[in-house]
Homo-oligomer: A and B are copies of this chain.
């Protein structure tokens, strides 16, 4: 006799079988998501957050899914339905309109009514008897407990009516909509993590930066200009269309081991020292250099900039000169050598005796960290909401994560730019822990192939969810050989690349004057670097790039396509020196096509390909393009069009593309 199951039918305690196991729906692969939800993604106010997820179950039931979202701190979720794309992928979206942190997750469930409706439809269309199905449906409807629905349930049960009549009621769109409100979500599956998005203001995503040493803003190279004198340069900067004016450190500068011109070890009495050697008798990170003025002068300068439409960004350089008040008051915040002296900065065998790094691992780390955060708060109180952070990669990530989150909780409009030029994962991690924007390798990407690869990575992979590039053409530390050798065409090319590849970009003062002399052959340091001396420039000089910069910044303000990074796409070119790319605004109403000659020495010409079919028009369409730099108009036919860019004339086209609203009629 074969054994049968009947012999062991006692109900055994079902170990580990709790009700959560009856949730049949799987929710996984929710995007956007950074490191399994460890870090938030980034958006700016007004953005849509498009969320996708894999939602599926066993069997053939019809599913439903909702995107849940809330402002952090809210108890209740808001929700919006998700739609099935294909291959079990669902999509939904919500708008983030307030600054700060939002949370989101995804819930999926079996839609009993839709499943039933689907089955009923198929059977009825196949001419099968559906009386049993109608009764099942009636039970589903009655289960809602809704009195109005209860009457419909009775209709479905009413054997006196024809089956067809009852099916018409069962399948009505009204009933469907109504039943949607009573979905049984008791066994819904919620994604096992709550993901977060940090919402910043628009400037975190889009802005043109100008870097200027205020002490060089005067007319006398032997003394520091004051804030009041620097204020006189504001119309010039604002006139070029910049949004942010970034100042290197404005604090008192140490005397001990002060560096002389061109980074020499012996400074003369006349040398002003490096602004990054922060701290002297007059104070430290919350003081202003008396040579620039008082804190009240600074306040006035900030206000004056504001009136010119410029926002001030300060440098946050967490290090001290040997003369910094911290050194005497908080020796415990520094590392000490066996002889008791404080360790200066080193990159063996190089020594930086004018700089003491903080010891973030000091036993007194908590008071140090708190004080450093207070520095930020101090400047926020003085109207500064943008900080360019010097070398954040030499301070602990946890410090930044803590300090930036804390500052943002009270001042969600604060923006932090990470000045880290280091290994890629370290740069990305700084973005993950909270920096709004990041310096990039842009200065070292000069060929079309390098630019294509790098900006595809930055704007078309998940890196874009947390890292926003800010492209500087140059900095006081970086004068790339391309600029040193390429002359005016190189400056034109780099300006246009920065301003159109990046929604955020910047130039450091002097760029517009084509300053290109390095301290020595093979160095990226400027000769007579402004880091160590005051430099007076003739900004009104004929032939300056200022006019082009003004035009480019105006184009940026007029074209939403250039105010976003994600709409970037590179296009084919039959000449490796002609880089062709387009940008589209999120609503796709604005399209800008850019072609740049990256060879500053030679005329380059060839055919580039406009992605007509990507733009929804036939590949043989005629499109009208207008060069936003020159005002010239061209009528292009088909995808491949001829371009010629010559260092003797122009280095780039920035083309406004008018995409035909309707499909071409093959005129």
- Please give, as numbers and ranges, the residues of chain B lying within 8 Å of A349 by CB-CB distance: 122-123, 125-126, 128
User: How far, in whole Å, are A287 and B284 apart by their CA atoms in the complex?
Assistant: 86
**Contacting pair A396 B22 (CB below 8 A):** yes
Cβ of A423 and Cβ of B87 under 8 Å apart? Answer: yes
Asked if residues A59 and B4 are in contact (CB atoms below 8 Å), the reply is no
- A56-B429, A126-B349, A426-B58 are contacts. A329–B284 as well, Cβ < 8 Å? no
- Cα A11 to Cα B423 in complex, Å, equals 36
Say whether, besides A56-B426, A87-B424, A398-B23, A2 and B290 are in contact (CB < 8 Å). Answer: yes
A425 touches B60 (CB 8 A): no
Cα–Cα, bound, A22→B54 (Å): 37
Q: Is the CB of B361 within 8 A of A22?
A: yes
A347 within 8 A of B: yes
Question: A177 interface residue, CB < 8 Å from B?
Answer: no
- Cβ-defined contact, B3 with A286, below 8 A: yes
Q: Which of A24, A58, A287 has the most CB of B within 10 A?
A: A58
Cβ A294 vs Cβ B2 within 8 A: yes
Is A394 in contact with B295, judged by CB distance below 8 angstroms?
no
**Count of residues in A whose CB is under 8 Å from the partner chain:** 92
Contact A394 B58 (CB under 8 A): yes
**A88 interfacial contact with B, CB 8 Å:** yes
Q: How far is A366 from B283 in the complex, measured between Cα atoms in Å? A: 72
Q: Is the CB of A294 within 8 A of B1?
A: yes
Q: Are A14 and B60 in contact, with the CB atoms below 8 A?
A: no
**When the two chains form their complex, are residues B28 and A35 in contact, meaning their CB atoms are under 8 A apart?**
yes
A332 CA to B87 CA in the complex, in Å?
34
Known contacts A87-B424, A325-B5: does B285 contact A406 (CB below 8 Å)?
no
From the candidates B16, B36, B126, B139, name the one contacting A348 in the complex (CB within 8 A).
B126
The answer to whether B367 and A423 have CB atoms under 8 Å apart is no
Q: Are B35 and A366 in contact (CB under 8 A)?
A: no
A154 to chain B, nearest CB (A): 14
The 6 listed contacts between A and B (C-beta, < 8 Å) are: A2-B290, A4-B287, A21-B402, A22-B365, A22-B398, A125-B349
| Chain A residues with a Cβ under 8 A of chain B | 1-6, 8-9, 11-12, 14-17, 21-24, 26, 28-29, 35-36, 38, 54, 56-60, 87-88, 119, 122-123, 125-126, 128, 132, 135-136, 139, 187, 192, 252, 282-288, 290, 294-295, 325-326, 329-330, 337-339, 346-349, 360-361, 365-367, 369-371, 374-375, 378, 392-399, 402, 406, 423-426, 429
Known: A2-B295, A28-B38, A125-B349. 18 other contacts (CB 8 A): A2-B252, A4-B325, A6-B283, A6-B325, A11-B370, A12-B367, A14-B367, A14-B370, A22-B365, A24-B360, A56-B423, A57-B397, A58-B395, A58-B426, A59-B394, A87-B423, A132-B338, A187-B361
